[in-house]
Amino acid sequence: MSHRDQIFQGILKALTPLPERAAYPDYDTAATTTPRWLPAAEDNETLFRQRLTGTGGFFFESPADCAAWLKKDGAKSVYLAPQVAHLAAEFAAHLEVVAEYTRDAVDRIDAAVTVADGAIAESGTVILTDSGTPDRLAALAPWWHIAVVPRPTLVRTIGEAIAAFPADPGIVWITGPSKTADVEGILIQGVHGPGRQGSFFI
C-alpha cells in the first residue's frame, strides 16, 4: 500500500467512530478579527504611517525625502525597480542609481526601491508579489528596502487584504524590518533581510 493510501485509510479509521463531527463555525471576519481601537482610528493613510513607524519602519513624505534620508543613513547606491525609474532624478541627487539588479549585486547595492502591490493600514504592512517585484532578492538582500505604496492599493485590515489576495504564486507581507530576539531576548534589526524598511506613497 502506498504511503498516501496508508495515511488516508488511517484517517478514515480514526474518524469513522466519531458519533458526530464538529461543524464549521459560522463567523464574520470583520466582527471577530478587527482590533477594538480600529473603528475610531485615523484614515488609512495616517494609520499606515503610524503603524509602519510602530514596527520600526520609516515613512517618507516624498521620494526626495526618502533619497535624502538614505544618504544620511549611510547608503551609497540604490536600485530602482522599473516602475519607479521615473524617480531616478530625485535619487541620483544623493546616491548612485542602479537600474538592474543581478545576483552578484547582493552585497554591492546598498538600497532598493520596489513597488508594493498593496499595503495594510492596521498593521503597517506592505504587500509584495512576484509579478510586481523584478527580483525577490532585490527586496530582501539590501540593508535599506523602500516599498513604494500606490495610494489606491491601501486596505484597512488584514481580513480585507486576505479577501483580495492577488493571483500570484509568491505573495509576501512585510511588516517592518527583519528582526530577531534569539540572543538573550534582545531585539536586533536586520538579520537576513533589510535592517531598514521604509515606504512612501505615490
CB of 185 to other proteins, least distance (A): 5
Answer whether 158's CB lies under 8 Å from 195's CB. Answer: no
Q: Which is nearer to other proteins, 53 or 55 (CB)?
A: 55
d(CA 98, CA 95): 9
Answer whether 91's CB lies under 8 Å from 67's CB. Answer: yes
At 11, which helix (H) or strand (E)? helix 3-15
Q: What are phi and psi of 12, to 5 degrees?
A: -60, -40
Q: Which is nearer to other proteins, 54 or 62 (CB)?
A: 54
CB of 22 to other proteins, least distance (A): 4
Dump the DSSP string for 45-65.
HHHHHHHHHHTT-EE-SSHHH
Distances (CA, A) of 198 to 62, 80, 195: 12, 14, 10
Q: Which is nearer to other proteins, 94 or 156 (CB)?
A: 156
∠ CA 104-150-51, nearest 5°, is 90
Cell readout for 148 is 513604494
Q: Which is nearer to other proteins, 81 or 148 (CB)?
A: 81
Q: Which is nearer to other proteins, 35 or 74 (CB)?
A: 35
Q: Which is nearer to other proteins, 63 or 134 (CB)?
A: 134
